[in-house]
Amino acid sequence: MLKYIKKYWYFAIWAPIFMIGEVCMDLLQPSFLTKIIDEGVNGLNNNGMSDLNIILTNGLIMIGLVVAGGIFGVLSGVFANLCSQNFANDLRVDCFRRVMHLSFEQTDDFSTGSLVTRITNDVTQIQNLVGLLIRGFVRTFMLFVGGIFCMLLLDLSFGIVLACALPVVILFVFLFIMKASPKFKLLQKKIDEVNAVLQENVAGARVVKAYVQEQYEEERFEKANEGLVSTQRYVLKLFSLMHPITNIILNLSIVAIIYVGGINVKAGNGMTTGEIMAAINYISRILLAVLNMANLFQTISRAKTSSRRLNEILKTLPVIVDGGFQEETSSFGTIEFQDVSFAYPDQKNVYVLHNLNLKIESGKTIGILGSTGSGKTSLVHLIPRFYDATEGKILVDGVDVKEYNVKYLRSKISIALQKSELFSKTIYENIAFSNPNATRNEVQAAAKLACADTFISKKEEGYYTLVAEKGMSLSGGQKQRLSIARAVLKPSEILIFDDTTSALDMKTEAEVFKNLNEQHRNRTKIIIAQRISSVRNADQILVLEQGRIVGQGTHEALLESNEIYQEIYNSQLKGGVSYE
């Protein structure tokens, strides 16, 4: 984490320098208070006569010290905040950047709720520590050491009080820190759980309401929240006990100083009332410094836990290793699977694809059919390297996908998913997300191809209508059409539609594919579908069953020779209406 502070070293230096100035002003004040009491009020050097001039002069000096200390404190706070805020900003950006480069399997391991907590709450904990260290640590250390020094300068007999009070306070602080530290890691996990439940319920609000499960989800959130609260309560109880115990010791110390001072005054050892008052001021500062040190250690313990959690993100190297190839090839949009098998990382012994061999020629349209869990989505996710094949090779334009620069490889591929992910932006921005340099005409042409222009134009603000979070303001079919428009707008060689038309009626679907074949004839197209009507006009249709290709050919050929395809056809289209 130090590398993030080095960039702002000039702020990190000025903050403690000004803090030193503020503490020096604090430590000087009791000495002037001593003069006011002893010389101004008691008149020790003036035959017992009060001296108003001494009171006013030293009083004004004390006011000046307070003002100067305040200015130093403000400047210290400004520089500390500049350092900690910039530090946190850079750390947060780096963590987010690393998350964006993690593979799907790695983000699944962390969980969305945990990642949100780490990039928000955990970064804030470390930010608080940075601000406290470069400002609060200097203040605490100087008040502690300086207070002891100044107190002993007054009279060494005050050291007896310190020798009795300090070990007791330090022991209590140590015990509290030892008790609380293990709970900080648990506390962050509890925050993860609350965030996870909250995100699931906000995202799935319609499902919750549709099945009237509000009470169940409220109870689930309450359970997660109660776990967080009980952990926080335990920590707060410990530290709430620490303050009154410290105050008790502080008051006892003041009584002890008055007692020791009284003995010295009675014995005629030269101790004055002003010195006793100064000693009370110093003991207060010393013990409060110890209390602040406890808060500092609490922050350090919590930040240490947060630091480990953030380092887990920062030190996690992407599983998808970037290759260096990013050159033009002689072929355009060809795809080849050579003995490809695949198992998801969390279930390495359960293969979802088995020994696939397949070649898709440039410009061809390939349809993929199969039952749920047959491996259709897994197959296409290997092409842009969302996951890497467990065995075998996948070639795009004759080059192994693992040899490509990942960005360059994905620039050759457009993919539209069944679950349409839309952002809280305008319709125009959502479509242009795949190609920010596209013109208005190009965006509108993509929308027309996807049969989306009609419903967009009917909206009051047209293409500049703001889409609600996750597209909640749009129907399923409208979201899918925007996803299709976004995919075709990207200038890529390969188009992948992963059951992207499942929410469209068959007539609209047929029109979309007709437009696609007419306007993007030269692009290689892979269409995953549940309906034969979606793929019947494809150049080749693959039938997948349990991760294996059990049929391959045109619609007519499969209808004659493949039993599984015949079953699908008979269940869907025989005697029904189809749109050519």
Model confidence pLDDT, tens digit, residues 521-547: 889 999 998 888 888 889 999 999 999
106 and 234 within one domain: yes
Within a domain: residue 85? yes
Within a domain: residue 328? no
78 and 47 within one domain: yes
Task: Find where tokens 């002689």 sit.
Answer: 330
299 and 448 within one domain: no
Mean pLDDT for 330-357 is 88
Within a domain: residue 132? yes
Residue 105 has pLDDT above 80, yes or no: no
pLDDT value, residue 418: 77
Could you tell me which residues come within 8 angstroms of residue 229 by beta carbon, excluding any fewer than 6 positions away?
A: none
Mean pLDDT for 271-297 is 80
DSSP class of residue 137 equals I
Within a domain: residue 37? yes
141 and 274 within one domain: yes
* Pairwise CA distance, residues 334 & 504, whole Å: 29
Number of domains forming the structure of the chain: 2
CATH number reported for the structural domain that contains residue 356 in this entry: 3.40.50.300
235 and 168 within one domain: yes
478 and 370 within one domain: yes
Within a domain: residue 320? no
Cβ burial 235-247 (10 Å sphere, 16+ → b, else e): beebbeebeeebe
Model confidence pLDDT, tens digit, residues 549-567: 999 999 999 988 888 888 8
395 and 252 within one domain: no
Which residue among 281, 314, 347 closes a domain? 314
Report yes or no: 432 and 489 within 8 Å, Cβ to Cβ.
Answer: yes
Residue 575 has pLDDT above 70, yes or no: no
If residue 201 lies in a helix (H) or strand (E), which one and from where to where?
A: helix 158-203
Q: How many CB atoms lie within 10 A of CB 32?
A: 21
344 and 265 within one domain: no
264 and 340 within one domain: no
308 and 164 within one domain: yes
Nearest alpha carbon to residue 184 among 308, 79, 347: 308
Task: Find where tokens 């075709």 sit.
Answer: 488
Residue 580 has pLDDT above 60, yes or no: no
Print the domain residue range for 558.
335-572
Q: How many CA atoms lie within 13 A of 405 on its CB side?
A: 8
Which of 68-82, 183-197, 241-255 reaches the highest mean pLDDT? 68-82
CATH number reported for the structural domain that contains residue 224 in this entry: 1.20.1560.10
Which residue among 314, 348, 371 closes a domain? 314
Within a domain: residue 174? yes
Distances (CA, A) of 170 to 149, 246, 267: 18, 10, 32
Within a domain: residue 324? no
273 and 305 within one domain: yes
197 and 152 within one domain: yes
Model confidence pLDDT, tens digit, residues 59-86: 899 899 999 999 998 999 899 989 999 9
Q: Is the pTM of this model over 0.75?
A: no
Within a domain: residue 78? yes
Q: How confident is the model at residue 574 (pLDDT cuts 50, 70, 90)?
A: low
Ramachandran assignment for 480, one of left (phi > 0), alpha (psi -120 to 50 degrees), beta (any other)? alpha
Mean pLDDT of the chain: 85
Which residue among 284, 314, 344 closes a domain? 314
Residue 270 has pLDDT above 70, yes or no: no
Mean pLDDT for 479-505 is 90
